Each structure stands twice: as C-alpha cells, then as structure tokens.
C-alpha cells in the first residue's frame, strides 16, 4: 500500500522494520509505526476458530501453531511489527507453579505463594529448558518475517506483575495479598523478586538469541502501587532486568495506571516508555523524556469511526510530529473490536500528515 505524503521528512518510503526501529531511537520516520497490543487474539475469527480446536497450552506449546497465530494479524493488516504469540505466565510454570488457563476465567495458579518457604522452593531453570517451544516459534516466525521486513517483538512479564500472579493466584482488584506479602516479608519478597529477575533476564536474552528484534517488558499491574512503594519494592528489580538485556536491542517498558510516577518507571529503564490513556501522551512524554508508545483507549475501537477518529487524532496532535512515537493502544485490544475499525485506524495513522494538522 502507499503511505501517502511522508510525515516528517521527505524520505523514501521505509519498511516496517526501519520505521519501527528508528522510532525506538527517536529518529525521523516517513510515517508513524503502529502495532496493536494483543494483536494476535480473540478479536480475530481465525484465532477463535483455531482455539476451538485446541487449548491455550497446546497453542503455546506447539511452535508451528504459535508461529501461525503470530502471523495472523499480519495477513490482515498493514502492521509495522509482530509480537510473538505466547503469554507472560508460562515462565512461572517453569519455576514450579501450577499454572492453567481456565476458559472464560483466565490464567490461574493452583497453589499460589503464601509463605517464605514457597519462595525458597521455586526453581530458576534456564529458558532453553522450559520455554523451548516459544524460542522455536521465534525461529519459525523470523523465517517468514525477514522477507516482509517487519520486526518481531519478544516479551516477558516484569517482576512485580509476575509476582502478583504468583501470590494472588489469578486476577485481583486490590492486590491485597501481594502488598501484604511485600510489607510482612520484605526479605522473602526480595528473594522472590531476585528469582523472577533471573528467570526473566535469561528468558528475554534467549528470545534475543532466537531472533527477536525488540523486547517489551509488561508491568501491566504495577499501577496498583503508590510511587513510594514502586520505588522501594519494585523499581530496583525492573532496573536489574532491563540493564541485563543484550545491548542494541530496544526495550519497551509498559505499564498502566502509572501516570503519577511515569518518570520513575522511565528511570528504571527502557528505550521506549509505553503508557495507557489515563495520562495525555504529551504530558507522559515530558515526564519520561524518551520515545513513547501509546496510548489510545482500546474501548474507542468499539464505537463508530466518527468517535474513533477524534480520539486517534488527539493522540497524533499531542505528539505533534516529534520523533520517537510508536502508535499503539494503551492496553490490549478487546475481543469485541470490529475488524473494520482496526483497518481504518492503521490506514489513518500511516497517512497522518503532521504538517497539515
């Protein structure tokens, strides 16, 4: 497809790979790169059909299937990046926790961590041993993507978000058990976070060696904490992970609900800071002083185009042609999203002309 008028500079049309990698380094691009969090998932009928034939675990553990799902959104849409089909939680199973994906409920941990002894029983196995299927899927996807000139994003859960699932056993509204453990057992919390760091660092670097071009660290639920608790109980560990990632690989550091301390999130590290819609993206960008990703509310894709258009325009106007922006939603795309809205949004972002707005 054509991208219409170049956005910021009169450059020749770039590949998705160039557009994405340059945006990570705050270099000028011909059009704003766009991908969509959870782009390989339930809003795609072909994904739903495939999942009717097999469980989440089967899909995750069969490299050919994981590769096929990763490529599904690229067959439909003109996206500038792919993200490997996996989940943030399987590494917890590798550590010895009893993970299952329960249909219509979500991931649950059978015997969550409720004691210091449980922390000490957790293993720290190498990713090659326990995440082999995902690493193999990365190989398979990269064989397809090289000729398409699209980067592949690898990912992992950040230590806090992983710890919250390990302790709560599943989704939670208050994170009360996680915070209670953090306050009551600070030494065990430290041991737990160090183990999670070890597993996450090894897993992200194994993904890099398998061929991903970029990694994203998902700290989806850390916004449950105050700034004080983030800096005291979490930031050192997130920093430890990010600083240990192979050099020259862009790191996207994602969180939600952290507008009040996004500067602190950025100080933990990451080349690109991803934020949700609760903070205007220009305000967020000033706080982090780095390239940014985001930040459209996924619910805006449920409405008609006449409502989606002003919301997407607002994000673009707030960026105002400054280099270092990857367009994305502020959190994962919802299963009820109409496909036409995704198509129109991508076309709109690629053709957006900052000079005219």
Minimum Å distance from CB 235 to ligand 1CP? 19
Minimum Å distance from CB 87 to ligand 1CP? 4
**Helices and strands counted in the chain (H then E):** 17, 9
Size of residue set near ligand 1CP by CB under 6 A: 22
Name the catalytic one among 17, 19, 43, 87.
Answer: 87
> By CB under 6 A, what part of segment 41-60 binds ligand 1CP?
41-42, 51, 56
Q: Which residues pair with 326 in a beta bridge?
A: 293
332 binds ligand 1CP (CB under 6 A): yes
Cβ neighbours, 10 Å, residue 299:
15
DSSP 321: T
Span from 35-43, 200-208, 233-241, 280-288 in contact with ligand 1CP (CB under 6 A)? 35-43
DSSP 332: P
Contact predicate 195/95, CB 8 Å? yes
7 binds ligand 1CP (CB under 6 A): no
Minimum Å distance from CB 158 to ligand 1CP? 9
**Smallest Cα–Cα separation from 257: which of 336, 160, 344, 325?**
160
Name the catalytic one among 3, 17, 30, 51.
Answer: 51
Question: For 256, phi and psi rounded to 5 degrees?
Answer: -125, 155
88 binds ligand 1CP (CB under 6 A): yes
DSSP H or E segment with residue 39: none
Task: Give the chain's radius of gyration (CA, Å).
Answer: 20
Exactly one of 30, 87, 202, 276 binds ligand 1CP (CB under 6 A); which one? 87
- The residue sitting closest to ligand 1CP, measured at its beta carbon, is 220
DSSP 15: P
Residues at the interface with ligand 1CP (CB under 6 A): 38-42, 51, 56, 83, 85-89, 101, 106-107, 155, 171, 218, 220, 331-332
Active-site positions read 38, 42, 51, 87, 165
């Amino acid at each position: 497809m054509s991208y219409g008028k170049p956005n910021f500079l009169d450059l020749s049309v770039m590949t998705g790979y160039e557009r994405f990698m340059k945006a990570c380094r705050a270099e000028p691009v011909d059009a704003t790169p766009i991908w969509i969090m959870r782009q390989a998932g339930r809003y795609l009928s072909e994904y739903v059909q495939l999942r009717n034939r097999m469980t989440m675990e089967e899909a995750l553990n069969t490299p050919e299937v994981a590769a096929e799902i990763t490529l599904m959104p690229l067959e439909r849409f003109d996206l500038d990046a792919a993200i490997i089909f996996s989940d943030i939680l399987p590494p917890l199973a590798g550590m010895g926790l009893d993970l299952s994906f329960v249909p219509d409920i979500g991931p649950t941990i059978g015997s969550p961590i409720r004691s210091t002894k449980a922390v000490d029983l957790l293993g720290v196995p190498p990713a090659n041993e326990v995440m082999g299927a995902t690493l193999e899927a990365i190989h398979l996807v990269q064989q397809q993507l090289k000729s398409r000139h699209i980067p592949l994003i690898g990912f992992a859960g950040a230590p806090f978000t992983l710890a919250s699932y390990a302790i709560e056993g599943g989704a939670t509204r208050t994170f009360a058990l996680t915070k209670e453990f953090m306050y009551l057992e600070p030494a065990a919390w430290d041991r737990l976070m160090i183990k999670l760091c070890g597993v996450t660092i090894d897993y992200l670097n194994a993904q890099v060696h398998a061929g991903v071009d970029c990694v994203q660290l998902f700290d989806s639920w850390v916004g449950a904490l105050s700034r004080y608790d983030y800096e005291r109980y979490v930031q050192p560990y997130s920093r430890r992970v990010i600083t240990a990632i192979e050099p020259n690989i862009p790191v996207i550091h994602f969180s939600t609900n952290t507008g009040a301390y996004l500067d602190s999130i950025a100080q933990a590290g990451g080349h690109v800071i991803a934020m949700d819609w609760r903070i205007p993206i220009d305000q967020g960008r000033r706080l982090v002083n780095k390239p940014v990703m985001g930040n459209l509310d996924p619910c805006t894709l449920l409405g008609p185009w006449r409502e989606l258009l002003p919301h997407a325009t607002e994000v673009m106007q707030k960026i105002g042609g400054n280099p270092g922006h990857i367009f994305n939603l502020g959190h994962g795309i919802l299963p009820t999203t109409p496909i036409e809205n995704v198509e129109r949004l991508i076309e709109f972002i690629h053709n957006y002309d900052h000079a005219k707005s």
